Amino acid sequence: SNSSLSCGGCGVSLQTESPELPGYVPQAALEREPIICQRCFRIKHYNEAASVAVDQDDFLRLLGAIGGTSSLVVHIVDLYDFEGSLISGLSRFVGNNPVLLVVNKIDLLPKSLNTNRVRNWVQQQAKALGLRPVDVVLCSAKRNIGFERVIEALDYHRKGRDVYVVGATNVGKSTLINRLISDYSDMEQELTTSRYPGTTLDAIRIPLDDGKAIIDTPGIVYTSRLTEVVPRSFLGALLPDKPIKPLVYQLNDGQTLFIGSIVRFDFVKGKRQSFTLYLSNALNIHRTKLERADELYQEHKGELLGAPSEEELASVPEWTRHSLQVAKGSKQDVFVSGLGWISVNSTQGAQLDVYAPKGVKVMLRPSLV
Ligand code: GDP
């Protein structure tokens, strides 16, 4: 990178290596005058906000800066990766500012699902994770579902203040921001960029008609999400694009499911029962005997077992094993951040082993569906 150059738009230090990090400019654009970062270029020419990502330290500094303002904080999370994309310390970091929780990607849930139930579940889970939002809104930024409710909630809770939009990467923040730009902002005025107070990070300001603005923030990268530790080439298979069709497997103990070549699910001990998979339907599922699973993986990962390929797997961290005990008579999900979940409706209890790349969050939670 070339740290001596800075963007003529927002002032961020320019670099030519990582498109998803702040200050990226394609090599060829360095010939132009004035030199501006790709993000400013898109804003200027297409009125479009592109997402950038920052690490934990920069992100916490940024949240602290928001804490010093009087504003509404809109936290956007991915329903499909709820525990993985929720910023649990958010209320603490942004001080007294209210948090509006916008739950995106509801289009992915099976059609049969009752949205009131989902909303209650979200409220309970958010509370359990330490977040107390003033309101919860469900939407799909991409399919334009529930967007009027998002705007209503913004108007109602903003009370004449600025709005900061925060979220992890890949939750659909820029899709939502671009919708807000086209449907809600005061387009007489142009998008501008400015600095967050006390940081070196640039912010996109989307003007509102009362002189206030919606301010986009960089996404935070959580390496506890499978989506952040796999190569980009595998993301298409991992992120569902259509409503998920749940897959039901009746398993005996001593059976294993391979989910592509990326996660392994062992039913170690318990009575025969059903497991329902809520995953991208582009993933290959392979059932086998637990006693054969190690050997099968060694011989067939990346091919018979499905993506990612062996070449892609080379850059993915090694598996670690998570031993989980589903209590008798409970309905729980085995949640694997960035992959989806497996719902266990256990009358008899079940002992499970889940193998996932090191660092990826794997846990039991109250069942969503
Ligand atoms: P950002 O990193 O948070 O800015 O996320 P993007 O807006 O770039 O979206 C990340 C991915 O999620 C892209 O593949 C989007 O197409 C997809 N996406 C965004 N919103 C939705 C949604 O409401 N439903 C679905 N199914 N996908 C979405």
Residue with the smallest CA separation from ligand 1 atom 10 is 170
* pTM to 2 decimal places: 0.89
**CA of residue 268 to ligand 1 center, whole Å:** 36
pLDDT tens string, the chain, 369 residues long: the values are: 444 788 887 778 899 999 888 889 999 888 888 888 888 888 777 767 666 778 888 888 889 989 999 999 999 999 999 999 999 899 989 988 999 999 999 999 988 788 999 999 999 999 999 999 999 999 999 999 999 999 999 999 999 999 999 999 889 998 999 888 888 877 666 677 666 666 666 778 888 888 899 999 888 889 999 999 999 899 999 999 899 999 999 999 999 999 999 999 999 999 999 999 999 999 999 999 999 999 999 999 999 999 999 999 999 999 999 999 999 998 999 999 999 999 998 888 999 999 999 999 999 999 998
How far is 314 from 287, CA to CA, in rounded Å? Answer: 24
Ligand 1 atom with the shortest distance to the CA of 242: 26
199 contacts 64 by C-beta, under 8 angstroms:
no
Q: What is the ipTM of this complex?
A: 0.99
Write b or e for each residue in 25-36: b if 16 or more Cβ atoms lie within 10 A of its Cβ, otherwise e: beeeeeeeeebb
Residue with tokens 């949205």: 115
- How many C-beta neighbours within 10 Å does residue 197 have? 12
Q: What token pair was written down for 277?
A: 């998979």
Binding pocket residue ranges, ligand 1, CB within 6 Å: 51, 104-105, 107-108, 140-143, 167, 169-175, 219, 239, 241
For 204-224, give the DSSP string: EEEE-TTS-EEEE-PEEP-TT
Q: Which residues pair with 193 in a beta bridge?
A: 204
Residue with the smallest CA separation from ligand 1 atom 12 is 172
CATH number, domain 49-220, options 3.40.190.170, 2.60.120.380, 3.30.160.620, 3.40.50.300: 3.40.50.300
Ligand 1 atom with the shortest distance to the CA of 168: 3
- The reported pLDDT for the residue numbered 57 is 84
Burial of 327 (0-12, 13-18, 19+ CB in 10 A): exposed
**CA of residue 120 to ligand 1 center, whole Å:** 23
Domain boundaries, the chain: 1-46, 49-220, 228-366
**CA of residue 170 to ligand 1 center, whole Å:** 6
Ligand 1 atom with the shortest distance to the CA of 241: 26
- The reported pLDDT for the residue numbered 1 is 43
Farthest CA pair distance, the chain: 70
For 74-136, give the DSSP string: EEEEEGGGHHHH--TTHHHHTTT--EEEEEE-GGGS-TT--HHHHHHHHHHHHHHTT---SEE
For 29, left (φ over 0), alpha (ψ -120 to 50), or beta? alpha
Residue 43, C-beta contacts closer than 8 angstroms, at least 6 positions apart: 9, 49, 191, 193, 204
Q: What token pair was written down for 368?
A: 């969503």
**CA of residue 241 to ligand 1 center, whole Å:** 9
End-to-end CA gap in the chain: 47
**Rounded to whole angstroms, what are the CA distances from 81 to 51, 160, 224, 352, 358?**
18, 32, 11, 21, 17
- The reported pLDDT for the residue numbered 209 is 84
